[in-house]
Structure 1
């Protein structure tokens, strides 16, 4: 398929974080872009403001008239149901219909491609890497699964020769990519609704790793069962971060590479997991040929990602942090970072479980992770692409938790519940539409304080 011959690009599920990055990309390179999504959001608002036409009803007559031609590409998200009438309209007429991952594969095939894989850490690592390469002057485009604060976008750069992509394991999407340099940050079980077993997930990651023939171009953590260049924090590895300390709210650390020691690197994202993400990005950029000075300068200026340990309020008396964490390992990482930064303070966690299947598969681990917080407020499960499962509810999850201070509330009662707490640290956690409530929560807390 030749993208140069495509004039129109129609997205079904344009408001998704990965889909919207592609929409921005095609708009940037001069294509006509429009699309459908189920519900308006901050992301769709931003796309509309950039000149992209979006509608929120699944009706054939809402497809723009100029799209009824051969040179139209239709991009779908795996979350769209097979009954979707617009999707079926295009399929029945033999339009070019591709999954987002397939399109990323086409875009990156003729570029020098960095691919960032892993159950956790993909978005942060690819954002840091994209920022390093862009700041060092590389001709790069980075497609990121989050809004990078430095750019207020999930697209970094408009380069033609180098790409950075998140290699998403969902639906085995990452097997469409053609990576030159890659990393695997983690291989925890997730998406068991797709894979069935953790062994199947592991096999899929191995298949992805095998796409990088030169193993000196593949970066891994110490514990992964694949061949590659090891990266570790305070452990022996080919790339090793050590002498880690906290100064002025940032981490400062040294890195031992195969050829040198880089000293006193400053990096502002909290949590040991983010040190690992920064180290992976550093190793990949270094292998590409980026100078140590440019890498260190970019790491110091990286501001983070919206909804990844994102400070909403940071005062001496009250801290409010919002995070996208939707897996027990990610919740543990948030907890570790909060306890390291704010020891001996009371922490309230508000959690919206994401997907019935994920809640069911990891219920005991969720219960254990959440019970580490001093106070927990649960919302109902956010269904996303799923129908309810009998017996799988937030109440069922809460009954498994060992903490005493826990409650289940409706969205309507959430803000009054938060305002009633005496916790000085408040964290909202989850990948559902809780993120849409963050501005309201922030404003209510400001007014109270």
Structure 2
């Protein structure tokens, strides 16, 4: 399929962060873009401003006529997160439209370009955006399809210079539904290999098989950067046709030394196989983000960036929306928002926050994401959340799932050992916080908890004397 010859592309789930990046790419090359999503959001509002036609009702009457009248030159892009009973998805399937998953389309776009693909249960959005920023700030011609909105570019799509010679693509490789197996990486990064998406894979061993299959996509003389825990988890060994570099905060051929946590920033030294870079500053805090930076720095060195270019690029990297995003940082109050939705992500996030503010009370508001994930990792969620001094749970965000009997946010409460813990509705949360002494507040989750972030930040800013 020649994607550039298409007349129309219609996206089912256009408001998703990965889907919207593809929508923007097609819109950029002059294809008519439309789509459906369940609810409006700031991101869909931006897409509409950019000229895309979006509806929020799953009926065929809302689909533009150009999509329905020119089947031969129309592509339907869908995400597996769409409900199985979607009216539009069923229609396009039953009427034999060109129907492809987001990952398939991304694979087609990147198949003819050198590609850096970043996979892993956690860290792939930050690592891929960090790689893209370091290379771009170092003068390399890159394009990037990212799973989050970068603070530097306020976008999830970075376009390459068509006149700048061969471009390299940086892409986030999503393990959900085995989507990353459609990609064609020359360089692969595996940040982590913890179990997740067991509703798709069935069990941990099948998911590990998926990661091994992703790595096997590398060509001869390809390059793999892999976190040491993932390397051990997958039971990898030598004898592969690609080069493997193992990295980690304190273990591996590439590691970090002299890590120091400060409010709003981490400092560390990069120690590689043939080069050391001292005095690096990362303004997206977190021990886990230091590890993400190790992979990004190693790839930047492979692409010919100098130590000074890397230092400059890293210090100017502002991070990704909803990844350790600091909204308020004052002497008497701090508010941070994070997308963490897996026990290991929460453990890494809260551990880093405590290192930054060791003498302050840490209050965590968490919205579980998916009934299956809450059920499968309930014990891990309770243990990781117990790092906070107070935990406030919101009800589970279902996303694509129907409720499961007996699976609720309250099932996590018993295992949480924090001195204070409670369950609140989204409507109750702000009123409850107004009664509390807030020192360090964090909001955590991948659902619609993001809609509460700005109201909380506005309240904290406006009522500083009452807190």
TM-score range, shorter chain: over 0.9
Quick check: 1:29 aligned with 2:29? yes
Quick check: 1:194 aligned with 2:200? yes
Cα distance in 1, alignment partners of residues 417 and 100 from structure 2? 46
**How far apart are residue 245 of structure 1 and its match?**
2.9
Q: How does 1:47-196 map to 2 (within 5 A)?
A: 47-67=47-67, 68-69=69-70, 70-159=72-161, 161-196=167-202
> Any stretches of 5+ residues in structure 2 without a counterpart?
238-243
Partner of 1:373: 388
Residue among 418, 430, 437 paired with 1:403: 418
Partner of 2:339: 324
Partner of 1:299: 314
Cα distance change on mapping 1:34 and 1:421 into 2, 3 Å: same
Q: Aligned-pair RMSD on alpha carbons? A: 1.5
Tell me which stretches of 4 or more aligned residues in structure 1 moved more than 4 Å: 246-249
Q: How does 1:1-40 map to 2 (within 5 A)?
A: 1-40=1-40
Cα distance in 1, alignment partners of residues 390 and 221 from structure 2? 45
Q: Is the 8 A contact 1:134 1:156 kept in 2?
A: no
Partner of 2:352: 337
Cα distance change on mapping 1:248 and 1:324 into 2, 3 Å: closer
Q: How many pairs align?
A: 448
Partner of 2:402: 387
Q: Is the 8 A contact 2:266 2:286 kept in 1?
A: no
**How far apart are residue 32 of structure 1 and its match?**
1.0
Partner of 2:367: 352
TM-score normalized by the length of structure 2: 0.93
Cα distance change on mapping 1:319 and 1:247 into 2, 3 Å: closer
Cα distance change on mapping 1:288 and 1:253 into 2, 3 Å: same
Cα distance in 2, alignment partners of residues 355 and 384 from structure 1? 6
Answer with 92-101 or 159-168: which moved more: 159-168
Deviations 1:282-326 (A, max 9, x none): 112222333333222111100011111111111111101111000
Residue among 272, 275, 282 paired with 2:297: 282
Cα distance in 1, alignment partners of residues 376 and 261 from structure 2? 36
Deviations 1:135-162 (A, max 9, x none): 1222211111111001111112334631
> Any stretches of 5+ residues in structure 1 without a counterpart?
none
Q: Is the 8 A contact 2:263 2:357 kept in 1?
A: no
Cα distance in 2, alignment partners of residues 234 and 371 from structure 1? 25
Answer with 385-394 or 155-164: which moved more: 155-164
Q: Is the 8 A contact 2:261 2:355 kept in 1?
A: no
Quick check: 1:233 aligned with 2:253? no
Cα distance change on mapping 1:39 and 1:249 into 2, 3 Å: closer
Quick check: 1:362 aligned with 2:377? yes
Residue among 423, 426, 445 paired with 2:438: 423
Report the secondary structure of 2:414's partner residue: helix
Q: Is the 8 A contact 1:243 1:254 kept in 2?
A: yes
Deviations 1:105-147 (A, max 9, x none): 0011000100001000000000000111211222211111111
Q: Is the 8 A contact 2:190 2:225 kept in 1?
A: yes
Answer with 70-79 or 251-260: which moved more: 251-260
Deviations 1:247-273 (A, max 9, x none): 684323222223322222221111110
**How far apart are residue 93 of structure 1 and its match?**
2.5
Cα distance in 2, alignment partners of residues 57 and 166 from structure 1? 29
**How far apart are residue 442 of structure 1 and its match?**
1.1
**How far apart are residue 415 of structure 1 and its match?**
0.3
**How far apart are residue 215 of structure 1 and its match?**
6.4
Report the secondary structure of 1:399's partner residue: coil
Cα distance in 1, alignment partners of residues 259 and 353 from structure 2? 17
Deviations 1:223-267 (A, max 9, x none): 3233521112233x2222222234684323222223322222221
Cα distance in 2, alignment partners of residues 133 and 95 from structure 1? 38
Report the secondary structure of 1:46's partner residue: helix
Report the secondary structure of 1:400's partner residue: coil
Q: Is the 8 A contact 1:381 1:394 kept in 2?
A: yes
Cα distance in 2, alignment partners of residues 101 and 290 from structure 1? 30
Q: Is the 8 A contact 1:21 1:154 kept in 2?
A: yes
